């Protein structure tokens, strides 16, 4: 049995911790905020799976591959769609109460799905329902382990929960992930050893000022894995959800609303999507998001209107209680009038490269959920496949613990950076501490500045000229300073480490987008509007930490 460190408490992290504990491993579950705080909690639309007689795994695979625009890994898609129904049944056993009607479990239709296969709970509170059930299960497992009498079979703590503890960096020992450096609630850095590390820290919506993600989504796991030498890929593919409510906080307006029949109108009241795509409002997300962005540009940047008035107040309030509450809080009555919407950063298809068992290129390191680039999403994730991917690959990662490469666990996915279409590196000079050398004449980057650059130049609509400008601006900033010397207050230390992660990720994401001279899926460039089928994945190889220290390791060593 192994000593496993799980970082993150969304669906992927919680399920990995449960599975690893039940398998007899000793588990430490680390989360940056409170245990229930994660991206999962905010997921509205639901979870897609071929659970019904008029559906099939093959149909789900076809829809997923089509949405991925030629960059999905077929083996990963097959795993996702084949094992998905079993993982949904697991969630039900763990206490997730999916919505029901007279025919059984209720299902909805979302964009680019050929069948109604999206299960939801609490109307538009699916993520919150899943999070709540899994948090309760994790706490039960931790309490059971804590109270098991000495001398009984399996006695001793097997699941330790550490809340308000941030991942700062990975520890690499002998060319393998051997634990992590954590920032605890006491403000102290601590090195924690483990046999394996499972990263489930989510995406990096905070790269952008307008995002459906919570503020804690700062890409900590992807950044730490990159610094540790793990290969990351496809960072240029950031999915922008077409419809976030255009008010402060940008609350998500689920795609399921359009699945129920809501339509998009410009300020003249015209349904412009009818002239863009046969699927109209239910076209793939990248198509709808770009079309909204173009339409907004034609009307001086004012938001598009989502018209759900035809659905009726009863359906809106019962099926979408979360969205109804968000509208009311903003002073809007969406049953009576169309509401303003605009695209917002939503989901990262790129991340830490893994095989179909969740294993990264760095031995001992696993990545699951939005942190990982499993190959299941390609250039554009199919709606409601994210929760499914988190469940499927968290389960597989735990099953793969202790397997060696010769066990066949990495069959089907290419995690080899040698196949990169664009080979790029972090361009800043580095010191022996593994960070860019501070230049006294350069200002330090801050979050607002990073977000402005990313939104303007690496957002929904991109160009080579704009991306080159973004790269130049980022190169003109020093990496944010971190540590106690910056500010002894814990919240300021956390923000400093988050900002440093965002800075690292912004630079390599811009480089990836600049290197991909085509338009495909969520990546659109006006100077290369056509896709180039010959291009594969854009991989960012990173340096090996075996030759140097990270900033946090240096701090502990000192």
Q: How many domains does the chain have?
A: 3
Q: Tokens at residue 381, please?
A: 């994730």
Rounded CA gap, 61 and 291, in Å? 26
In this predicted structure, what is the pLDDT of residue 399?
A: 97
| Same-domain status, 360 and 219 | yes
In this predicted structure, what is the pLDDT of residue 147?
A: 76
What is the average pLDDT across 297-313? Answer: 97
**Which residue has tokens 């989510």?**
202
Q: Tokens at residue 240, please?
A: 């922008």
| Same-domain status, 497 and 403 | no
What is the average pLDDT across 117-146? Answer: 94
Does residue 238 lie within any of the structural domains?
no
Q: For the segment 319-378, what is each residue's pLDDT rounded down to a tens digit? A: 999 999 999 999 999 999 999 999 999 999 999 999 999 999 999 999 999 999 999 999
Rounded CA gap, 310 and 187, in Å? 53
What is the average pLDDT across 37-49? Answer: 93
Rounded CA gap, 88 and 97, in Å? 11
Does residue 237 lie within any of the structural domains?
no
Domain boundary among 417, 446, 463: 417
> How many C-beta atoms surround the C-beta of residue 49 within 10 A?
29
In this predicted structure, what is the pLDDT of residue 284?
A: 85
In this predicted structure, what is the pLDDT of residue 439?
A: 67
In this predicted structure, what is the pLDDT of residue 484?
A: 79
Q: Is the pLDDT assigned to residue 27 strictly greater than 70?
A: yes
Give the start-end residues of each E strand in 19-94: 26-30, 47-48
In this predicted structure, what is the pLDDT of residue 156?
A: 55
pLDDT band at 555 (very low <50, low <70, confident <90, very high): very low
* CATH assignment at residue 147: 3.50.50.60
| Same-domain status, 311 and 374 | no
| Same-domain status, 162 and 207 | yes
What is the average pLDDT across 58-86? Answer: 97
27 SS3 class: strand
What is the average pLDDT across 260-270? Answer: 97
Mean pLDDT, the chain, rounded, equals 89
- Nearest CA-CA partner of 461 in 252, 272, 274, 296: 296
Sheet with 263-265: strands ordered across: 238-245, 339-348, 304-307, 263-265
In this predicted structure, what is the pLDDT of residue 155?
A: 55
Q: Is the pLDDT assigned to residue 424 strictly greater than 50?
A: no
In this predicted structure, what is the pLDDT of residue 152?
A: 60
Q: Is the pLDDT assigned to residue 198 strictly greater than 80?
A: yes
Range of the domain at 543: 424-557
| Same-domain status, 52 and 170 | yes
Domain boundary among 402, 417, 432: 417
| Same-domain status, 334 and 357 | no
What is the average pLDDT across 63-88? Answer: 97
Domain boundary among 285, 309, 343: 343
pLDDT band at 434 (very low <50, low <70, confident <90, very high): very low
* CATH assignment at residue 257: 3.90.700.10
| Same-domain status, 532 and 519 | yes
> How many C-beta atoms surround the C-beta of residue 252 within 10 A?
24
Rounded CA gap, 189 and 167, in Å? 10
What is the average pLDDT across 231-260? Answer: 95
In this predicted structure, what is the pLDDT of residue 25?
A: 95
Told to judge if 107 belongs to the known catalytic residues of this protein, a careful annotator would answer no
Q: Is the pLDDT assigned to residue 546 strictly greater than 70?
A: no
Q: Is the pLDDT assigned to residue 433 strictly greater than 60?
A: no
In this predicted structure, what is the pLDDT of residue 483?
A: 80
Rounded CA gap, 409 and 400, in Å? 7
What is the average pLDDT across 169-177? Answer: 96
Catalytic residue among 41, 117, 141, 285: 285
- Mean pLDDT lowest among 43-47, 220-224, 257-261: 43-47
In this predicted structure, what is the pLDDT of residue 552?
A: 44
* CATH assignment at residue 498: 1.20.58.100
**Which residue has tokens 């080159």?**
468
């Amino acid at each position: 049995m192994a000593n496993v460190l799980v970082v993150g408490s969304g669906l992927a992290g919680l399920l990995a911790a449960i599975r690893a504990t039940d398998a007899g491993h000793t588990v430490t579950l680390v989360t940056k905020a409170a245990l229930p705080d994660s991206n999962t909690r905010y997921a509205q639309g639901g979870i897609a799976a071929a659970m019904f007689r008029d559906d099939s795994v093959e149909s789900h695979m076809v829809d997923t591959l089509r949405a991925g625009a030629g960059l999905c890994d077929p083996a990963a898609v097959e795993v996702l769609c084949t094992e998905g129904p079993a993982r949904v049944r697991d969630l039900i056993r763990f206490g997730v109460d999916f919505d029901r009607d007279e025919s059984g479990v209720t299902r909805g239709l979302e964009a680019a799905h050929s069948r109604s296969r999206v299960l939801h709970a609490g109307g538009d509170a699916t993520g919150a329902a899943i999070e709540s059930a899994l948090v309760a299960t994790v706490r039960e497992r931790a309490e059971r382990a804590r109270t098991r009498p000495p001398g009984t079979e399996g006695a001793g703590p097997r699941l330790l929960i550490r809340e308000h503890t941030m991942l700062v960096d990975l520890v690499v020992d002998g060319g393998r992930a051997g634990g992590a450096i954590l920032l605890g609630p006491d403000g102290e850095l601590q090195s924690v050893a483990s046999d394996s590390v499972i990263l489930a820290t989510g995406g990096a919506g905070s790269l952008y000022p307008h995002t459906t993600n919570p503020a804690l989504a700062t890409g900590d796991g992807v950044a730490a894995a990159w610094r540790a030498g793990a290969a990351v890929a496809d960072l240029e593919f950031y999915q922008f959800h077409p419809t976030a409510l255009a008010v402060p906080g940008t609350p998500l307006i689920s795609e399921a609303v359009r699945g129920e029949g809501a339509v998009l109108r410009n300020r003249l009241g015209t349904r412009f999507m009818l002239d863009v795509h046969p699927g109209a409002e239910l076209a793939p997300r990248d198509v709808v998001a770009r079309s909204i962005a173009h339409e907004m540009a034609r009307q001086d940047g004012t938001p598009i209107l989502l018209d759900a008035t035809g659905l009726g107040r009863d359906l809106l309030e019962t099926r979408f209680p979360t969205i109804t509450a968000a509208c009311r809080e903003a002073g809007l009555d969406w049953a009576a009038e169309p509401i303003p919407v605009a695209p917002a950063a939503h989901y990262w298809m790129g991340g830490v490269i893994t095989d179909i068992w969740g294993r990264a290129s760095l031995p001992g390191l696993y990545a699951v959920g939005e942190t990982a680039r499993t190959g299941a999403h390609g250039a554009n994730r199919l709606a409601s496949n994210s929760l499914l991917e988190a469940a499927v690959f968290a389960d597989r990662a735990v099953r793969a613990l202790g397997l060696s490469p010769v066990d066949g666990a990495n069959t089907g996915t290419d995690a080899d950076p040698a196949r990169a279409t664009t080979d790029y590196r972090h361009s800043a000079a580095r010191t022996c501490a593994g960070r860019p050398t501070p230049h006294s004449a350069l200002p330090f980057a801050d979050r607002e500045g990073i977000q402005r650059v990313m939104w303007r130049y690496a957002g929904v609509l991109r160009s080579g000229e704009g991306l080159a400008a973004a790269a130049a601006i980022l190169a003109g900033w020093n990496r944010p300073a971190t540590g106690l010397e910056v500010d002894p207050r814990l919240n300021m230390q956390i923000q400093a480490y988050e900002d440093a992660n965002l800075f690292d990720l912004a630079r390599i994401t811009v480089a990836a987008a600049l290197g991909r001279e085509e338009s495909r899926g969520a990546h659109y460039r006006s100077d290369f509007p056509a896709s180039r089928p010959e291009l594969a994945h854009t991989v960012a190889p990173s340096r090996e930490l075996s030759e140097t220290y990270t900033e946090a390791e240096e701090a502990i060593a000192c």
